Structure 1
């Protein structure tokens, strides 16, 4: 009878032949050995399966029809056997001590439902980029997370039992919103931990910084934040301030998208909405001046 692993690592992959080997290797080379690796091939049409073939005895491999990254992650969660669930995107890489450090933290902090860590960044060729270190937060992080999305799936390790209480990734929200929605749901119900050690390498390449993703993001964030605004406004004394500041930024970003699309009237409407919520953004005032004042 197989021993139940403590951690289930889930990698969803779609047309990931370029980077999936690095992701899988980074998990198999962990210092913490009590894990299973579940790779869900979301209907890839490239050579992803051929790249994974040498690993078949070391991973749990599932191939499905293409239904999107949320459905692939959810399939992995349902099949997982571990006490903890870690996510890794197909183009990212774990530091060798990722599982060792995060499992140790969760064992020492039973009140934390999830732990996350900062990242280092590389380009598509594997060259390390300048480190961007943001301040981490722990405990009740919901207002801060509402104000700014700062957790990506590869950064997080969760207790599996929480998914029975808050649900899994939304399959109706497309990319750019499904992970933010999940982490807001977790933060609205549970405490979240932070380990100030970069244990994930995030790969920047044309596929994950595309123009299409950048243009979709503010509209998806508006949708996600609308779902979670009632919790913010009803549970936090300064929730109204957090809401107004955050949504002001979303409308500013929508205006920038409209400007790139030469939709000037829509951009002006978005800027007006931004200033109505939070009139202290000098960049928004400057954008409005340039759009509405002749010669501005």
Structure 2
């Protein structure tokens, strides 16, 4: 089994093939599993960078206990984007594999990602499915995302305000040259910074999807995914989607790319807005027909299922 690259700057070493970049904030009870899952990988050479974003629990002690096996960066709290940017700045690998501290990699993850990038030099982003799991390791449904998209995604994303069935942070790997071309994550993404990676990179580089579940995604109270969203959460999601489209449009304009995103095409935003107010039958039908045409879900049966759900939308109880 290969060892993680020695981070001691006094011992010059060739750059590793992969940098595993773990961002952590107050996940001291979880971060050891994330680090261990990275250090146990076999195949390509790699290094492990852990950025602690100003945790106030015992995270720093857990991370420091790994000594030279990881490169630790401790910074004041600035949000997930700042933590991920700091991890990239501290890394040397040609491939950047991101990992949230409450998730973990499964065996073979780094080898599979390295093969995918080697097979197609034009890829900027490789992703895989994640297995949702409870704190007791009980499985919470099938691997996500259910639908996979790959190749040139820009035309599809231009029709959907950037929406596609993208995965979470811990499934994302980025070629460093793609990161350098696109630029660091805007600091306004204090949470859900993965929205920038899956939004900007596909407009400039091809994407590959691996069908395996190569990581675990922990379901707990601090995640976006809930059985039922209340009104404050719906508003947070809507604000996040709006901010993402604003940042992506600024990015596309600054690079002279012809694409422009329109919030009117963002079907999840329309659905969320509809749950915050009473909805008449005519409006439900219009939303249903829009859902049937929404290219953000490429799988026709799942698209139809999502559209049908709009006919049964209930106003969120605390929407007023």
Alignment of 1:179 onto 2:194:
yes
Q: What is the aligned partner in structure 2 of residue 250 from structure 1?
A: 269
Aligned to 2:154: 142
Match of 2:41 among 20, 27, 30: 30
1:160-199 maps to which residues of 2 (within 5 A)? 160-176=176-192, 178-199=193-214
8 Å contact from structure 1 (residues 118, 155) kept in 2: yes
CA–CA separation in structure 1 for the residues paired with 2:313 and 2:119:
49
The offset of 1:169, in angstroms, is 1.2
Question: What are the ranges of 5 or more consecutive residues in structure 2 without an aligned counterpart?
Answer: 1-11, 293-306
Alignment of 1:34-73 (within 5 A): 34-73=45-84
Alignment length (residue pairs): 274
Provide Cα deviations, 1:80-125, integer angstroms capped at 9, x if missing partner: 1011111000111101100001101101111111211111111022
User: How high is the TM-score relative to the length of structure 2?
Assistant: 0.75
Is contact 1:219-1:254 (8 Å) kept?
no
How does the TM-score come out when normalised to structure 1?
Answer: 0.81
Q: Which moved more, 1:219-228 or 1:73-82?
A: 219-228
Alignment of 1:182-261 (within 5 A): 182-209=197-224, 213-228=233-248, 244=264, 246-256=265-275, 258=276
Q: Show CA shifts across 1:165-195 (max 9, x none).
A: 111211023313x321222110001101111
Deviates more, 1:85-94 or 1:205-214: 205-214
Q: Which residue number corresponds to residue 295 of structure 2?
A: none
Provide the alpha-carbon RMSD of the alignment. Answer: 3.2
SS at 1:154 equivalent: helix
Residue aligned with 1:194, SS: strand
